[in-house]
Amino acid sequence: MFDRRHLLRASGSAAAGVLGAAALPAPAAASRTARPPVASDPTAGVTRTLLQEHPSPADGWEAVQTLVRIPRHQESGRHSHPGIEVGYIVRGDVLMEFDDRPPLRLRTGDPFFIPDGAIHNARNVGTVTTMMLSTYVVDASKPLVTTC
């Protein structure tokens, strides 16, 4: 098992390879002075901040909770998780796009559920930075995020 907390705080290609580039948060000091996202990279500025992680009662699984921030006009990028995601839109408007079903329009206060392995993309379609509370129950031996 690898330490997701360390990987979420790490930077560079090693962490990006394990969690996916969109999973890497900007360092706290840099986020206050960072340049605006580059228009050619729709995932620029997207962060996942680890809030907590705990072993699951099922062997080999764990519960991980993150706060996902998606700036205006940006998106998470197509990705999947090795288990379920249960989420809540804390702030903002999101179009949750799926490869295998119609998209969902989610607004502040809406809950959502993403099945194991479902490829999805969260697109910020609102006027503020979207904040989503995401809780995952995932296979502890696999990366939390796999980009597609």
Q: How many domains does the chain have?
A: 1
**pLDDT, tens digit, for every residue of 49-68?**
999 999 999 999 999 999 99
Give start and end residues of each alpha helix (H) in 1-148: 4-9, 13-19, 28-33
Q: What is the pLDDT of residue 28?
A: 39
- The CATH number of the domain where 98 resides is what? 2.60.120.10
pTM above 0.85, yes or no: no
What is the torsion angle, in degrees rounded to the nearest 10, for the CA atoms of residue 81, residue 76, residue 70 and residue 118? -40
**pLDDT, tens digit, for every residue of 107-131?**
999 999 999 999 999 999 999 999 9
Token duo for residue 4: 């997701």
The answer on pLDDT for 13 being more than 50 is no
Which domain does 56 fall in, by range? 4-147
